[in-house]
Amino acid sequence: MYKAGKIPHQSEQLPTGSIIIYTNLEEQARKTVLYAQVSSYDQKEELKRQVQRLRDFSAEQGLSIAQEITEVGSALNGKRKKLLRILKDNSITILIVEHRDRLTHVGFEYLEASLQATNRKILVINDTECKDDLVQDMSDIFTLFCAHLHGKRSVKLRAKKALKACQT
């Protein structure tokens, strides 16, 4: 394998014939965390399914998972304790989520850039959202506005009612 150049790491052969393989210790020290989130307690079953999809993805990619973290709370809430703990922990280098909105509805790019500045990254396993969907963007902004205007309780219900009223 050494002579054929098939060793994936940097290596060298000593005059005695021994082959030394240098592995990237930084890569070995990576700590990968799965993060699953739902907005309300009545979505507990969806939370379990979400965690299983994250596990399946990690297994397919050959990633070793250090921790699985689940949280119930709105993605509009900036005070989710478990997510804040993950973001503050510099030993966590890879954060895996199912959808971008599991972390935040607005400002995902800022969060991603901030983590990249500290050599960490977010893996989104299902990034199928339509990037130029103006209706979804407006809905997210409207929901955020309602959250600030009416408080954080039942914002989703109020936003749905308001959108329904706008449609009629």
Domain boundaries, the chain: 29-124, 134-167
Tokens of 32: 């990968």
- 35: Cβ contacts below 8 Å, ≥ 6 apart: 54, 69, 70, 71, 82, 83, 86, 95, 96, 97, 102, 103
Kindly state which CATH superfamily the domain 29-124 is placed in: Resolvase, N-terminal catalytic domain (3.40.50.1390)
Give yes or no: 139 in active site. Answer: no
The mean pLDDT of 55-59, rounded to a whole number, is 92
Task: Tell me the backbone φ, ψ of residue 21, rounded to 5 degrees.
Answer: -110, 120
Looking at every residue in the chain, the average pLDDT score rounds to: 79
Residue 28 binned pLDDT confidence (cut-offs 50, 70, 90): very low
More confident residue, 114 or 163: 114
Catalytic residue among 39, 40, 139, 154: 39
8 band by pLDDT with thresholds 50, 70 and 90: low
Average pLDDT over residues 41-65: 90
pLDDT of residue 130: 46
- Cα gap 78→45, rounded to integer Å: 24
Say whether pLDDT at 62 is over 60. Answer: yes
AA letter at 57: F
pLDDT band at 148 (very low <50, low <70, confident <90, very high): low
* Position 98 pLDDT exceeds 60: yes
> Tokens for 19?
């082959």
SS3 breakdown of the chain: % helix, strand, coil, rounded to 5?
45, 20, 35
